[in-house]
């Protein structure tokens, strides 16, 4: 009887370890697949500026010629912890920090 309890304990431990590994793998896959949005959200909590993120988003919109989103949708740009701007990508492209954004002509877009 004593030897049987030891085997059951080892078997239960192995099963728990395997289940824990499966859960960890599932969590890693979940966060890796959604790392773009999750990573950006986490960065916005820990950094004082999101200028690079907004420039990247606006540049992508310009490359894809998504005129309405580029010209009409406001984005919040955090220049520092206390200074924020509400700008469209079109207006952001006119700023010194947004000069690398691919520009679109916004006439009649909104």
> 0.75 cut: is pTM over it?
no
Dist. CA 110–CA 94, nearest whole Å: 18
pLDDT at 20 (0 to 100): 95
Q: What confidence tens digit (pLDDT) does each residue in 22-77 have?
A: 999 888 877 776 655 666 666 556 667 888 888 999 989 989 989 999 999 999 99
Comparing CA positions, the residue from 105, 97, 102, 106 lying closest to residue 72 is: 106
Give DSSP secondary structure letters for 67-89: HHHHHH--EEEESSSS-EEEE-H
The neighbour count for residue 59, using CB atoms within 10 Å, is: 19
Half-sphere exposure of 63 (CA within 13 A, CB side): 8
Residue 66 or residue 5, greater confidence:
66
Model confidence at 108: pLDDT above 90: no
């Amino acid at each position: 009887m004593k030897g049987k309890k030891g085997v059951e304990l080892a078997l239960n431990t192995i099963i728990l370890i395997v289940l824990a590994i499966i859960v960890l793998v599932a969590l890693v896959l979940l966060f890796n697949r959604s790392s773009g949005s999750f990573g950006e959200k986490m960065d916005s909590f820990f950094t004082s500026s999101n200028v690079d993120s907004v420039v990247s988003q606006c540049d992508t919109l310009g490359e894809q010629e998504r005129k309405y989103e580029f010209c009409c949708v406001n984005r919040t740009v955090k220049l520092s912890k206390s200074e924020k701007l509400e700008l469209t990508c079109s207006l952001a492209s006119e700023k010194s920090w947004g000069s690398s954004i691919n520009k679109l002509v916004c006439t009649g877009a909104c």
